[in-house]
């Protein structure tokens, strides 16, 4: 359960009026499950207890301060957790997100480590919400997060929100090296959600990163008895030239939901290098904050493809992934 604290209350150095206008919230997720994957490894199938299957386990802090005139300051500090070992995730203390910014009638501007535009939209479109065995990111390319990012988002304009993101490469003498540029637009009103995102990532020399030019289009439509999901992405840059599409569904059932999707990737830069994945899953809410889940996916590869396969596996193999677990939000 989220708990709100009066910002800096323990310091006691600010006025009561300032206390009333500021707040900090602590939140988190602990997600653990059993995983079995057979991805062609020479060592055989892997069975493990893993963290962050449905959602990445995390601990976060976020806050706002009312500055007056409709202007607010905000921040987020969110660290990833590997709950199976207790170690930090993403290789950084606040590796999931770490930013500060301002919001008002103009929209919002945030500075720091943030989710990419493709990740944000992929999460909205994917019936598995970039988690479990059906994770859209297993065949689509959705950059998770960008360092050194400046992100501007408009206010909600009758259901439409536009976003621009620029991530500095910070290479002396070369502003194009390691730079990322992202643009997105999302419309959500009633049962309809439609979105488009473009992201371009440069390498250390300022050239297009292999697979670094991505255009993602997709959306959902909620029929009530079921929600339809669809997405299409082009992946270019360097020698990469791929097309990926997905269709899926979410079917509410009692306190839970059935999930399913089919994804296919076509590699136009190589012959016999396509692949596809079918995934099914189920989530069951034990309460507003706790649910249990299970999912299964199977990835099939053409003779020259290695999607989701172990590095030691031969091209053309299959990957089978099963998991079952529990997620608790607080």
pLDDT digits (tens, 9 = 90+) for 267-283: 999 999 999 999 999 99
- Block means of pLDDT (10 residues each) for the chain, length 330 residues? 41 40 94 98 97 98 97 98 95 96 98 98 97 97 94 98 98 96 98 98 95 98 98 97 98 97 98 98 98 98 98 98 98
Q: Which of 137, 134, 153 is nearest to 145 (CA)?
A: 137
Residue with the two structure tokens 């005139």: 69
Q: What is the pLDDT of residue 55?
A: 97
Residues 3 and 330: their CA atoms lie apart, in Å, by 8
- Coil, helix or strand at residue 141: coil
Domains of the chain: total: 1
Q: Which of 146, 77, 75, 160 is nearest to 109 (CA)?
A: 75
Q: What is the pLDDT of residue 143?
A: 83
Host domain of residue 9: 3-329
Q: Are 248 and 264 in contact (CB under 8 A)?
A: no
Distances (CA, A) of 121 to 53, 57, 98, 125, 329: 19, 20, 20, 6, 22
CATH number of the domain bearing residue 14: 2.40.160.10
Burial of 299 (0-12, 13-18, 19+ CB in 10 A): buried
Distances (CA, A) of 216 to 36, 120, 197, 220, 315: 30, 11, 5, 14, 27
Determine which helix (DSSP H) or strand (DSSP E) holds 53, and give its type and residue range. none
Note the maximum CA span of the chain.
Answer: 69
| Burial annotation 59-94 (CB, 10 A radius, 16+ → b, else e) | bbbbbbbeeeeeebeebbbbbbbebeeeeebbeeeb
Q: Which of 140, 136, 129, 139 is nearest to 283 (CA)?
A: 129
Check residue 274 and report its DSSP letter: -
Q: What is the pLDDT of residue 215?
A: 98
Task: Detail the DSSP E strand segments found in 83-191.
Answer: 87-88, 97-104, 107-115, 145-153, 160-167, 180-189
pLDDT in tens, 70-111: 999 999 999 999 999 999 999 899 999 999 999 999 999 999
């Amino acid at each position: 359960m989220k708990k709100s604290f009066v910002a800096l209350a323990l310091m006691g150095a600010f006025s009561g009026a300032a206390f009333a206008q500021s707040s900090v919230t602590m939140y988190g997720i602990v997600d653990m499950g059993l995983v079995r994957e057979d991805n062609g490894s020479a060592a055989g199938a892997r069975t493990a207890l893993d963290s962050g299957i449905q959602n990445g386990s995390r601990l976060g802090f976020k806050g706002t301060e009312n500055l007056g005139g409709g202007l607010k300051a905000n921040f987020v500090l969110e660290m990833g957790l590997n709950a199976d070992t207790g170690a930090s995730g993403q290789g950084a203390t606040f590796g999931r997100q770490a930013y500060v910014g301002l919001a008002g009638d103009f929209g919002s501007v945030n500075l720091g480590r943030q989710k990419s535009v493709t990740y944000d939209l992929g999460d909205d479109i994917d019936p598995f919400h970039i988690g479990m065995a059906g994770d859209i990111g297993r065949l689509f390319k959705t950059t998770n997060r960008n360092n050194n990012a400046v992100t501007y988002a408009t206010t909600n304009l009758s259901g439409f929100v536009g976003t621009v993101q620029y991530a500095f490469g910070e290479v002396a003498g070369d502003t194009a090296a390691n730079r990322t540029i992202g643009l997105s637009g999302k419309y959500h009103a009633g049962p309809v959600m439609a979105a488009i995102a473009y992201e371009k990532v440069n390498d250390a020399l300022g050239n297009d990163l292999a697979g670094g030019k991505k255009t993602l289009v997709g959306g959902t439509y909620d029929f009530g008895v079921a929600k339809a999901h669809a997405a299409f992405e082009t992946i270019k840059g360097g020698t990469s030239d791929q097309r990926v599409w997905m269709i899926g569904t979410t079917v509410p059932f009692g306190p839970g939901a059935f999930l399913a999707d089919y994804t296919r990737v076509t590699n136009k830069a190589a012959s016999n290098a396509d692949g596809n994945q079918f995934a099914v899953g189920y989530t069951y809410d034990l309460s507003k904050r706790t649910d249990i889940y299970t999912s299964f996916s199977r990835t099939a590869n053409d003779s020259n493809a290695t999607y989701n396969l172990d590095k030691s596996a031969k091209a053309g193999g299959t990957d089978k992934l099963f998991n079952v677990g529990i997620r608790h939000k607080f």
